[in-house]
Amino acid sequence: MSRFRNTFGIGVLLAVVCFAGAACRHDMQDQPKIKPYRGSSFFGDGLASRPPVQGTIARGHLRSDTEFYTGKKPVSSASPAPASTNPYTDDVDTFPFPITQETVVRGRERYEIFCSVCHGMTGHGDGMIVRRGFRRAASFHDDRLRQAPVGHFFDAITNGWGAMPPYAAQVPVQDRWAIIAYVRALQLSQQNIKTQPGPSGTPLPQGSSQPQSQPTPAAGGHQE
Amino acid sequence: MPQIFHHSTNALAKITIYGAVFIIVAALWVAVELNRSSWNTGQWVERQQPVQFSHKHHVGDDGIDCRYCHTSVETAATAGMPSTAVCMSCHKQIWADSPYLEPVRASFRTGKPLEWIRVHDLPDYAYFNHSIHVQKGVGCSTCHGRVDEQPIMYQAATLQMEWCLECHREPEKFVRPKNRIYDMAWRPVNTNSEQLAEGFRLKAEYKIQGRRVLESCSTCHR
């Protein structure tokens, strides 16, 4: 009989443990700690993380390399060229670091994520969002933009340009330069077919930067 | 004293004793199935959001890359949620007066972030990291399903421990080439050993660690 009572006791104990476990579960599941994107009732605005105090510079993040971080010439060396001939006097015209094959490959990837939606795969300004009613994005194959210094492109990505939104929050500085390197490659690749009629872009064969002699009539290079 | 139970009830008693075993097993089976069911895991449940955001429109129809909005997916534990400014980069101009976008505009005016309802939510005692999976050849669709065909987001996997382990034990069945990570249509082909060879090749190329690391409790419970 006592054997039965023991078994019964263990059974009850197991059941209690199981139910207690079920009750605890949610405390462990939703611990009172702060994780990314989780709100908090501690601060008035409901956000868990505090914005850094204005002007805070993290260790190692002093942006002293003006050309790299702003695409502008340091104030002292800006040439006082007459504004009428060159509207981009303070923009740098060389890349702040050597461009390698990897930079261009990275730039292509980032271009296709962030820019192609509006500027199109080939940079003619006819991306999907433009076709859905966004203001026509600039074509990189205009003479003005062919001649514009790289710093101007950096400025457009960082601060936006006219109807174009800024991308500083989404694209890190190094990637912005990589994108510009790829845009330069696009410009070169389209140079001798720019006289072709038609507003839509001439798709390049994937992975090629060679100019294409036979433009296909289909618009864009999107996978639809 | 007259007998309370007739002789024939002996058989009944025996049946109940042996039957109990089956009843207990059946109950356990029901419990396990319930535990794996979407009632418990939230799998396939569509969540209504403050804004009727559709991945089908944005990814499927417009071809926007995941990383345009989920910018930190390659570099951080969390995939990152788009800020209101990201939505407004397009919606300042297109569908600018759609009533469906009013919460987005209100958030942009007031600076108060949109509060999305979480669809995937691991318990806090489990640790997950997107960047390692993306860097080592596990694509979004392996875990999140055909996002480009989801007008409303749902959880495509159970997200239970056995699901994680199924892959951690045999990653070669799931890994894909680096340039297909964001390809929603990619499907693993791992039915015969020849096709698995490709998985083993990728596993070696990505230097995916062995079971000792990937099955260790402290990898995910840290």
Tens digits of residue pLDDT in B35-84: 888 888 878 888 888 888 999 999 988 889 999 999 999 999 999 899 99
Question: ipTM greater than 0.85, yes or no?
Answer: no
What phi and psi, each to the nearest 5 degrees, are found at residue B177? -60, 150
Task: Look at residue A38 and tell me if it is in a domain.
Answer: no
- Residues in A closer than 8 angstroms to B113, CB to CB, are 47
For residue B155, which phi and psi values (nearest 5 degrees)?
A: -90, 120
Report which of residues A199 and B123 the model is more confident about: B123
pLDDT interval class at A85 (50, 70, 90)? low
Number of compact structural domains in chain A = 1
Q: What percent of chain A has pLDDT over 70?
A: 68
Chain A residue numbers with beta carbons less than 8 Å from the beta carbon of B90 are 129, 134
What CATH code is carried by the domain that includes residue A186? 1.10.760.10
Check CB contact under 8 Å for B86 and A170: yes
What is the number of other CB atoms lying within 10 angstroms of the CB of residue A90?
18
Pairwise pLDDT comparison (A1 vs B66), residue with the higher score: B66
pTM over 0.95: no
In this structure, is residue A163 part of a structural domain?
A: yes
Rounded Cα distance between A75 and A71, Å, is 12
Which residue of chain A comes nearest to B113, CA vs CA?
Answer: A47
- Alpha carbons B168 and B159: distance in angstroms, whole number: 13
Range of the domain at A83: 66-219
Nearest CB to A113 within list B68, B83, B93: B68
The DSSP symbol for A164 reads B
Which pLDDT value is given to residue A86?
Answer: 64
Q: Which residue is closest to A117 within chain B, CA to CA?
A: B64
Q: In this prediction, what percent of chain B has a pLDDT beyond 70? A: 100
DSSP for B7-45?
Answer: TTHHHHHHHHHHHHHHHHHHHHHHHHHHHHSHHHH-BT-
Q: Is the pLDDT reported for residue A206 higher than 70?
A: no
Question: What is the pLDDT at residue A193?
Answer: 60
Write out pLDDT tens, residues B132-180.
Answer: 999 999 999 999 999 998 888 888 888 889 999 999 998 988 898 988 8
* DSSP reduced 3-state for A215: coil
Instruction: Determine, for residues A169 and B83 on separate chains, whether the beta-carbon distance falls below 8 Å.
Output: yes
Q: Would you call A37 and B81 a contact, using CB atoms and an 8 Å cutoff?
A: yes
Q: What is the 3-state secondary structure (H, E, C) of B43-59?
A: ECCCCCCCCCCCHHHHH
Mean pLDDT of A182-196: 77
pLDDT at position A18 is 56
Q: List CB contacts (< 8 A) between A32 and chain B.
A: none
A93 within some domain: yes
Question: Exposed, middle or buried, A185 (CB in 10 Å: 0-12/13-18/19+)?
Answer: middle
Find chain A residues with C-beta within 8 A of B81's C-beta: 37
| Confidence bin at A208 (pLDDT 50/70/90) | very low
Question: Does A147 map to a domain?
Answer: yes
Is pLDDT above 70 for A195?
Answer: no
Which of B88, B115, B125 is closest, CB to CB, to A28?
B125
pLDDT at A22: 53
Encode pLDDT of B86-100 as tens digits: 999 899 888 888 888
Average pLDDT, integer, range B23-43: 86
- Look at residue B97 in the predicted model and tell me its pLDDT: 85
Q: What three-state secondary structure class fits A111?
A: helix
- Between residues B189 and A169, the one the model is more confident about: A169
Is position A140 within any domain? Answer: yes
**pLDDT at site B136:** 92
Closest CA to B80 of B134, B154, B24: B134
Task: Say how far apart CA B209 and CA B197 lie, in whole Å.
Answer: 17
- Judging contacts by C-beta atoms under 8 Å, the chain B residues touching residue A170 are 68, 71, 86
Is residue A25 in some structural domain? no
Picking from B124, B159, B186, B221 by the largest number of A CB atoms within 10 A of its own CB, the best residue to mutate is B124
pLDDT of the residue at A218? 37
Q: Hey, which residues does A164 pair with through a beta bridge?
A: A161
The answer to whether position A183 is within a domain reads yes
CA distance A114 to chain B (A): 6
Say if the Cβ atoms of A133 and B112 lie within 8 Å: no
Best residue in B93, B140, B180 for a mutation probing chain A (most A CBs within 10 Å): B93
Phi, psi of B198 (to 5 degrees): -60, -45
Residue A179 and residue A173 in contact, taking contact as beta carbons nearer than 8 Å = no
